[in-house]
Structure 1
């Protein structure tokens, strides 16, 4: 959520910043609602003071033996007036909150302008694309030929966009998760956390998935939703807390299943497991001071990149433009792995700086030990990495002409002695 003071001070500047994201002007409406709410609060305070003063007059009149009926009628009228003012204030506050919750974050000044992914900017490329003496296959061709990747059985169980992995591929996916967690916790300083997979609406409002993107989520009963990413639970660990700034940055990670309806992906990536309703992901979340957050973003990207470096997978890093960033982000870097079977790069991690946007929504604050005032910390999140897409990259990068998959050196300790996946 954006700071309401920004709309009070310069609504036109906020409109100009949001216009870079293609958002229609909202500054004047926010400022007007805020002004109306503050005027109602002032009227409520005045009515309260008048009622208190009149109530004192009732007591004095009774002590002096005078008729206090007029004063009592005045108090009743003031109570009724206050009730009406308070109802109006609640209605305006609710309208203001709904409006603010639907406004995306403003981009950093150095975030490139653009309409969509075509306007993203390549930052760097790492590793050499593998060369084959045969035509490389896509992951689903390899997996089905091995008899270890079954989309038909998954469709009978759950419908489209699900997969059943067996044997060596199931173990390879598990190995990827353990390898990623070990790397991030033992070398990069992240604390592993096991979090719930079901959350209440407030948690999703806090990270920005609700109320605007409910169609992308799965509801689970009347009170809960399935998490679309562990960003939701990990970031909300600081919800309604005052953090000690000397303890920042906080860096946490979790390996969880993720559930997404893919509402906007109709007809896209229908073959294979690139875009699934259920997938696993190692998530990285940082909470830091505003002064350190930009450097923390670069560090976060580096932690995610290191996974691909250790696996020997070629990739590139892209700076997302304003039109392609997520709702809560101020700046985002995507890491795209090279997929030989598709002969293209595909996104495998998205790392974002959210500023104080999420902290405001979840009422998370921070304070130095010598300070009296609190402020909002900055939050960051990124995939470190998505297991399914990393599995795809490993399969296509390490495929052999006979259809087998060579196990990367980094994963061999997790594979129980298996160095090649065969039928």
Structure 2
């Protein structure tokens, strides 16, 4: 969330930032709405302060009138205090409503892009920074991962559809173990060599946790809400109307639970409502978790295979830093994710995303795209983003500088280190053989019980 004071003091920069993001409605209109609400709220606050000062003064005058035994004046003043209390009560309600309206408006506005982010409306404006690794050559037509997995008999989309619907998969045997091996390998790498602390976080989180990393309210349709046991809460009443009443009560109370779309959500919120000593920063944490996404905007995209699933596994990297550390930490985090692909022997490229393609919370994002020979193209396998204090303001996450008593907002960063399902896809496609088997990368063999090749059962 952006700082309304910064917007008030830098209106031109605010409008320019939203224009670079191709934000709608018109940034100038949004600015006017913000400034109007902010002005009303500050005016109400000033009026309340004046009213409270008057109430305090009148209260003293009551004591003086009683001391002088001027009961008529004392009564008049007490009546005034009673009127002031009611006016103040109404003013406080107005302030809360104005504050919430301003907060709701700010909650739907994306972060400002960094100055060095390329400006463009979509992925076509992304800029390639580097390519790493040689593309594999085959003396046969390379297959896509789902063709390989299904032919091996270890990747089953049909059964998954019976169990859960489309965009799910059942992995079996050595492919199930390969996914587990990839996750274990990444976590060992990041904890043993990159200095991250492993965390096993909850997979269900509250509204305010999702709000903190900006999945809510703007992107609610992309999430899976864990519906409460409404029948139990209603005492077994069979009433759709009553169920809706309870559901709305859950919404109002913030008592809903959501399946996490990424471990970024619980990991970043570890700093929520905390004041951390500067000496403990940067805080680096990692987790390998299932992730759940509704993919509401992905109809018709990547319908075959495992590229875009409702449930997938990902190893996430999160850093919490001081403002001075965040730019360098962004480069470091990206290198950590790249190391995964280097050790797996997978060719990839690094892209800096354009203003129109990067995520809502990001100031700047690097995408790492792995080469998939079956698709004959690079596909995203990791996004590493620096968010500045955008998420920290939503979470009230602060640190105490060593040279100051006043807390400051932290900076937050997140990145995939990397998406496990897509790493599995990349291994299948880059290590495939003409006979349909798949070689196991050297670095994964200790996690696969020494297995060197995945083959169909005899």
Equivalent residues of 2:48, 2:92 under 8 A apart:
yes
Corresponding residue for 1:6?
6
**Within 5 Å, which residues of 2 pair with 1:148-159?**
148-159=154-165
Equivalent residues of 1:352, 1:380 under 8 A apart:
yes
Corresponding residue for 1:309?
342
**CA distance in 2 between partners of 1:22 and 1:245 (Å):** 36
Corresponding residue for 2:49?
45
**CA distance in 1 between partners of 2:31 and 2:268 (Å):** 28
SS class of match (2:18):
helix
TM-score (norm 2): 0.91
**CA distance in 1 between partners of 2:9 and 2:314 (Å):** 41
Map Cα deviations across residues 109-139 of structure 1 (whole Å, 9 max, x no partner).
Answer: 0000000011100110011111111111000
TM-score (norm 1): 0.98
Equivalent residues of 2:167, 2:310 under 8 A apart:
yes
How far apart are residue 28 of structure 1 and its match?
2.3
Corresponding residue for 1:194?
200
Give unpaired runs (5+ residues) of structure 2: 229-249, 251-255
**CA distance in 2 between partners of 1:188 and 1:125 (Å):** 22
Map Cα deviations across residues 361-393 of structure 1 (whole Å, 9 max, x no partner).
Answer: 100111223321211111110000101100000
**Within 5 Å, which residues of 2 pair with 1:49-64?**
49-64=53-68
**CA distance in 2 between partners of 1:146 and 1:303 (Å):** 32
**CA distance in 1 between partners of 2:389 and 2:143 (Å):** 44
SS class of match (2:209):
helix
SS class of match (2:262):
coil
How far apart are residue 86 of structure 1 and its match?
1.2
Map Cα deviations across residues 233-269 of structure 1 (whole Å, 9 max, x no partner).
Answer: 1110011111111221111100000000000000000
How far apart are residue 59 of structure 1 and its match?
2.6
Equivalent residues of 2:150, 2:156 under 8 A apart:
yes
Corresponding residue for 2:399?
366
How far apart are residue 30 of structure 1 and its match?
1.2
Q: Does 1:128 align with 2:117?
A: no
Aligned mate of 1:96, from 78, 91, 102: 102
Q: Does 1:232 align with 2:265?
A: yes
**CA distance in 1 between partners of 2:58 and 2:404 (Å):** 42
SS class of match (2:423):
helix
Aligned mate of 2:187, from 181, 189, 194: 181
Q: Does 1:381 align with 2:414?
A: yes
Corresponding residue for 2:40?
36
Q: Does 1:252 align with 2:258?
A: no
Map Cα deviations across residues 260-306 of structure 1 (whole Å, 9 max, x no partner).
Answer: 00000000000001000000000000111111211111111100000
Number of residues of Structure 1 aligned to a counterpart in Structure 2: 423
Give unpaired runs (5+ residues) of structure 1: none
**CA distance in 2 between partners of 1:209 and 1:322 (Å):** 19
Equivalent residues of 2:123, 2:353 under 8 A apart:
yes
How far apart are residue 60 of structure 1 and its match?
2.5
Question: Where does structure 1 differ by over 3 angstroms across 4 or more consecutive aligned residues?
Answer: none
Q: Does 1:289 align with 2:295?
A: no
Equivalent residues of 1:177, 1:387 under 8 A apart:
yes
Aligned mate of 2:153, from 147, 154, 164: 147
Equivalent residues of 1:44, 1:85 under 8 A apart:
yes
SS class of match (2:333):
helix
Equivalent residues of 1:11, 1:31 under 8 A apart:
no
Aligned mate of 1:405, from 438, 441, 449: 438
How far apart are residue 3 of structure 1 and its match?
1.4
